[in-house]
């Protein structure tokens, strides 16, 4: 039985496949004996056009993972406190442990929304070097308001990292809004909406002086020429991306509606509103749902035994046929 990967929030519309001929032609011109551009200048130009920020406000990295590592190396030292809202992207904690920092995880409200006041209180109490905000949040799909993000930025002692990996699906960004740019790093990626997870292309947006500091610890040839050129081709063809994101957003609303109706009719599941390309649900039948999906070849993320995510599972939104199959399987389990 073939398996369908819905556990990693990948974009199965695969924008790269539609520009394959252009991509192959562009990549065939690469001189493989020449080292990559260490500053990714051509890619920065495309990202500048896409985001509306200057090239001096951009850093290109080997996925968001490298950017997180760079941020820790610049703005923390062993023994420092780092604040995250739980549950959220695990990599913040992983990198904090590697760096030798103390990770202070702030528990959510009962509906899994972040406790804004407690995030601020903990950051102040712990004199946190870095406070992370994942927006939209992975895995819950929660969307912070710009007002709440600015409350955190203006209240905490250290820098604030706003992870906008899924921003294209929420269409709500800190960019273009008023905020204290001297203490904020915005993280972005081409792995999600752009469907280019294999390329490992991430980028950061920050004040030029912060970018200068981060460039000091960035490895010189961190992003291959193949990745840079492929990313440029994607950005040159971003019009197609807009339609793909619309399709995913539309499907997300449809599936959320179907699961919400199931929640109302049975009372046996709880589905959380999502602004990402995924949906999180909670149920006492999570193990049964997970088993039923697995038996049909669907790989989903099971959080059944994770703190703050007991009895939860998450699956990515993909093409309509697959989405409907997932809902049908969940319906059979909870309606039995």
How far is residue 160 from each of residues 151, 153, 157, 222, 268, measured CA to CA in Å? Answer: 11, 6, 9, 24, 38
3-state secondary structure the chain: CCCEECCCCCCCCCHHHHHHHHHHHHHHCCCCCCCCCCCCHHHHHHHHHHHCCCHHHEEEEEHHHHHHHHHHHHHCCCCCEEEEECCCCCHHHHHHHHHCCEEEEECCCCCCCCCHHHHHHHHHHCCCCEEEEECCCCCCCCCCCHHHHHHHHHHCCCEEEEECCCHHHHCCCCCCCCCCHHHEEEEEECCCCCCCHHHCEEEEECCHHHHHHHHHHCCCCCCCHHHHHHHHHHHHCHHHHHHHHHHHHHHHHHHHHHHHHHHHHHCCCEECCCCCCEEEEECCCHHHHHHHHHHCCEECEECCCCCCCCCEEEEECCCHHHHHHHHHHHHHHHHC
State both tokens at 178.
């008023």
Token pair belonging to 33: 């004996």
pLDDT at 304: 78
For residue 314, the cross-strand partners are 280, 301
Structure tokens at 69: 């590592």
Is the pLDDT score of 153 beyond 80? Answer: yes
CB contact set of 21 (below 8 Å; sequence gap of 6+): none
Distance from C-alpha of 86 to C-alpha of 65, rounded to nearest angstrom:
19
| Alpha-carbon dihedral sign for residues 89, 236, 176, 68 | positive
pTM of the predicted model as reported, rounded to 2 decimal places: 0.96
What's the whole-number mean pLDDT along residues 208-217?
98
Domains of the chain: 4-12+240-329 (3.90.1150.10), 29-237 (3.40.640.10)
Chain center to CA of 38: 25
Contact 306, 235 (CB under 8 A): no
Angle formed by the axes of helices 286-295 and 320-335, nearest 10°: 130
CA atoms of 200 and 206, how far apart (whole Å): 20
pLDDT tens readout for residues 4-50: 999 999 998 877 777 888 888 888 889 999 999 999 999 999 999 99
* Residues forming a β-bridge with 62: 201
When pLDDT is cut at 50, 70 and 90, the band that residue 60 belongs to is very high
Rounded Cα distance between 297 and 142, Å, is 28
- Mean pLDDT value of segment 263-284: 97
Q: Tokens 């406790």: give the residue.
A: 115
Q: What is the pLDDT of residue 1?
A: 62
| pLDDT value at 87 more than 80 | yes
228's tokens: 């840079």
- Tell me the CA end-to-end span of the chain in Å, nearest whole number: 25
Question: Nearest CA to 215 among 41, 11, 19?
Answer: 41
- pLDDT at residue 305, rounded to an integer: 77
The pLDDT tens digits for 105-141 are 999 999 999 999 999 999 999 999 999 999 999 999 9
| 178-209 residues labelled b (16+ CB within 10 A) or e (exposed) | ebebebbbbbbbbbbbbbbbebbbbbbbbbee
Residue 70 reports pLDDT greater than 80: yes
């Amino acid at each position: 039985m073939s398996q369908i990967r819905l556990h990693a929030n990948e974009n199965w519309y695969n924008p790269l496949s539609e520009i394959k001929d252009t991509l192959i032609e562009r990549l065939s011109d690469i001189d493989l004996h020449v080292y990559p551009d260490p500053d990714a200048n051509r890619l920065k130009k495309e990202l500048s056009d896409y985001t509306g920020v200057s090239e001096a406000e951009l850093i290109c990295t080997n996925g968001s993972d490298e950017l997180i590592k760079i941020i820790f190396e610049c703005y923390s030292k062993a023994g420092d406190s780092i604040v995250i809202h739980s549950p959220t992207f695990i990599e913040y904690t992983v990198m904090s442990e590697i760096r030798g920092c103390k990770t202070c995880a702030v528990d959510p409200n009962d509906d899994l929304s972040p406790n804004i006041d407690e995030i601020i209180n903990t950051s102040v109490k712990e004199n946190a070097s870095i406070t992370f905000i994942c927006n939209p949040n992975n895995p819950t799909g929660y969307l912070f308001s710009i007002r709440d993000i600015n409350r955190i930025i203006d209240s905490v002692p250290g820098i604030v990292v706003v992870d906008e990996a899924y921003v294209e699906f929420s269409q709500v960004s800190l960019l273009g809004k008023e905020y204290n740019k001297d203490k904020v790093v915005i993280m972005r990626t081409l792995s999600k909406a752009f469907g280019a997870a294999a390329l490992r292309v991430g980028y950061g947006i920050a004040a030029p002086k912060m970018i200068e500091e981060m460039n000091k610890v960035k490895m010189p040839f961190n992003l291959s020429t193949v990745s840079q050129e492929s990313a440029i081709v994607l950005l040159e063809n971003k019009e197609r991306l807009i339609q793909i994101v619309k399709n995913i957003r539309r499907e997300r609303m449809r599936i959320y509606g179907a699961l919400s109706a199931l929640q109302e009719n049975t009372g046996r599941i709880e589905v959380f509103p999502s602004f990402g390309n995924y949906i999180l649900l909670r149920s006492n039948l999570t193990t049964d749902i997970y088993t039923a999906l697995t038996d049909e070849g669907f790989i989903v993320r099971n959080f059944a035994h994770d703190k703050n995510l007991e009895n939860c599972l998450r699956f990515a939104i993909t093409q309509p046929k697959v989405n409907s199959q997932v809902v049908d399987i969940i319906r059979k389990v909870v309606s039995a």
